[in-house]
Homo-oligomer: A and B are copies of this chain.
């Protein structure tokens, strides 16, 4: 049985708790918030169960401060951020990272088995503990050092945050023209499904890759929002840069 205490009450903490409660072999002892952090001086007190791992699932900015409260513990202390180095945790503890690479909102019911978990620790024993824990809740467990994790997080900003903004712009164009956005849903699903079959570079279609400047000009004239026009132009240029001028 691996014993875990969660620190933080946001989406990541929430979803980790659900996944761990549903798994065999994990005991979630506590979910701490900022107001009820444990007193480390009492660690080991008879009668009070101690976790093997403290999982600090708080905002990136709060990680140094919150984790500092655990600087005296002999247990592992890990954070769950994609973009924060393992070094943000207190120097003298057994540090680690337990980063779920997924867009997590409380309301969504995701199958956690499908969420990639990116792990980091400072020695093989601690990594093994994290790996054992991770494999109980996910089928996709990776060891990823801090520098690589930051690049991965950056890639995720494009594949998730910026992609969602593309959906938003599409939905705004629909709204402004009394078109139900649902008409675009199958296209969005199919575009996403395709990346599993072929690299996105091969799946690219549209006026930019065809150098269809007549359509591009028409599209620019339809766009009233200046920022959207700038996005259209820059995205089209970036697509054309990707494929050279010969296509």
A→B interface (CB under 8 Å): 60-61, 83, 101-103, 105, 107-108, 110, 114-116, 118, 140, 142, 144, 148, 150-152, 154-171, 173-174, 176-179, 181, 183-201, 203-209, 212, 214-215, 218-219, 222-223, 227-228, 230-232, 234-235, 237-239, 241-242
The SS class assigned to the A binding surface is helix
Quick check: B160 and A191 within 8 Å, CB to CB? yes
Quick check: A206 and B160 within 8 Å, CB to CB? yes
Quick check: B222 and A150 within 8 Å, CB to CB? yes
Residues of B within 8 A of A158 (CB): 166-167, 169-170, 173
Residue of B nearest to A179 (CB): B152
Which of A169, A214, A223, A228 has the most B CB atoms < 10 Å from its CB? Answer: A169
Using known A-B contacts A163-B163, A166-B158, A238-B228, determine if residue A203 contacts B105 with beta carbons closer than 8 Å.
yes
Contacts A155-B171, A163-B163 known; 14 new A-B pairs at CB < 8 A: A101-B186, A103-B194, A148-B177, A148-B178, A150-B222, A155-B170, A155-B173, A157-B206, A158-B170, A163-B167, A164-B194, A168-B199, A171-B201, A189-B196
Q: How many identical chains are in the complex?
A: 2
**Residue of B114, B140, B219 touching A157 (CB-CB under 8 A):** B219
Which of A107, A154, A156, A199 has the most B CB atoms < 10 Å from its CB? Answer: A154
Quick check: A227 and B231 within 8 Å, CB to CB? no
**Residue of B161, B171, B212, B235 touching A162 (CB-CB under 8 A):** B235
Residues of B within 8 A of A176 (CB): 151
Query: Shortest Cβ distance from A139 into chain B, in angstroms?
Result: 10
Alpha-carbon gap, A31 to B199, bound state (A): 31
